[in-house]
Amino acid sequence: GRLEAAQAALGAAAKAWRGAAAELSKRLDEQLREALESHGHDPDDVVGELTCMLASGHVSPPLQSFLASTLTEPGLRRLAKTVDAALQEVSRQLLDGVLPELQLVAFVAGELRGRARAAHITHTLGLKERAVLQCEGAATRALVQAEALRQLVTRVAAQYRVFFTWLLKTLQSLEESRPEGEEGPLPGATPPGGPGSLAGVPVCVPTLLAFLDPAEGQLACDAVARDLDASQATLGLPVGSLRLPPRLAPHLRALQQAVFPG
């Protein structure tokens, strides 16, 4: 039914994000931690290291090593593209697959409530208004939750774009500040002032601070994965025909045939 379609779309969204999150984890949870540890810094304080760089403008030796030698500019651009594509797919699944289905489920539940309320007039049997109200409330909560998730994904996508732009600017500034006489540019680096240079692109500091928040920021807690999992876990609330009392089934089928022909 409609809930199953919404659940399938949520599953596809979660799968898309898991792939990007795994690549992020490889880069930031493994490679950056290794760079921090090898330079005598706290490997568990990735967020603190990045926040210090944002506050001071100083790129510490482990961050220099990670950005210039391990990640490199082409790798950073690929990572940014992977993450952005995954978040766009999550947003598409929510907009095209989850929200429309939940809107229809909530509509049917509302129609059932109307029938239940008029049962004493129409002599419709089997409809208990209180039970239908519970179903409608569950459907509405699922719909509100899905919309909140969509807004979160949109906000996080913007934060990741700012974050990767900042890292690219930092990486390019490392190339520009290299002492004269050092051999060649960094691997894959954009020439200073050349195409792809971000020297003149501003970075939104408040957005970065929200992203790097050690308590609630996306980098620290991955709110997208958390809320996708929560949505999948709670979408099984009793708003589907299989979970309604058996006497409601004929009325629900009649409404479904009218609302969802074919």
**Per-residue confidence of the chain (262 residues) as pLDDT tens digits?**
677 888 889 999 999 999 999 999 999 989 999 999 999 999 999 999 999 999 998 999 999 999 999 999 999 999 999 999 999 999 999 999 999 988 888 888 888 777 777 766 555 556 677 777 777 888 888 888 889 999 999 999 999 999 999 999 999 888 876 655 555 444 455 555 555 566 667 889 999 999 999 999 999 999 999 999 888 777 644 333 334 445 555 555 555 555 445 5
In a domain, 203, yes or no: yes
Q: What is the pLDDT of residue 35?
A: 94
Q: What is the DSSP string of the chain?
A: -HHHHHHHHHHHHHHHHHHHHHHHIIIIIIIHHHHHHHTTS-TT-HHHHHHHHHHH----HHHHHIIIIIIHHHHHHHHHHHHHHHHHHHHHHIIIIIHHHHHHHHHHHHHHHHHHHTHHHHT--S--HHHHHHHHHHHHHHHHHHHHHHHHHHHHHHHHHHHHHHHHHHHHHHHHTSPTTSSSPPTTPPPTTSTT--TT----HHHHHHHT-TTT-HHHH-HHHHHHHHHHHHTTSS-SGGGS-GGGHHHHHHHHHHHS--
In a domain, 235, yes or no: yes
**Domain span at 80:** 2-178+186-257
Q: In angstroms, rounded to a whole number, what is the distance separating the alpha carbons of residues 98 and 110? A: 18
- For residue 34, tell me if it sits in a domain: yes
The pair of three-digit structure tokens given for residue 165, joined into one six-digit string: 């732009």
- Look at residue 114 in the predicted model and tell me its pLDDT: 78
**CA–CA gap between residue 124 and residue 218 (Å, rounded):** 51
**Would 262 be classed as within a structural domain?**
no
Assigned domain for 109 exists: yes
- Total domains present in the chain: 1
pLDDT at 196: 57
Domain assignment present for 149: yes
